[in-house]
Amino acid sequence: MPDTKNSTPLDPPPSYEAAQQPSAPVLRPRAPVLLDLPALNSLRGKRVILASASPRRRQLLAQIGLTNLEIIPSAFAEDLPKSGAPFDYVLETATQKALKVYEQEINNVAKGEPTLIIAADTIVVAPNGEILEKPKSMKSHVETLQMLRDGGFHQVYTAVACMAPLESAADPGYRLETHVEETAVRFDPLATDELILSYVKTREGVDKAGGYGIQGIGAILIDKIDGSFDNVVGLPLKSTLKLIEKIMTQQADDEEELNFDR
Q: Which residues are catalytic?
A: 121
Cβ pair 154, 184 in contact under 8 A: yes
State the Cα–Cα distance between residues 17 and 127, nearest whole angstrom: 64
State the Cα–Cα distance between residues 93 and 98, nearest whole angstrom: 9
Cβ pair 38, 249 in contact under 8 A: yes
Cβ pair 213, 185 in contact under 8 A: no
Smallest Cα–Cα separation from 228: which of 179, 178, 177, 184? 184
Q: What 3-state DSSP class applies to 164?
A: strand
Q: Where are the alpha helices (DSSP H) in 2-118?
A: 4-7, 16-20, 38-41, 55-62, 86-105
* Position 25, amino acid: P
Phi, psi for residue 28 in degrees, rounded to 5? -110, 150
* Position 176, amino acid: L
- Radius of gyration for the chain, computed over Cα atoms and rounded to the nearest angstrom: 25
DSSP letter at 203 equals T
State the Cα–Cα distance between residues 44 and 60, nearest whole angstrom: 18
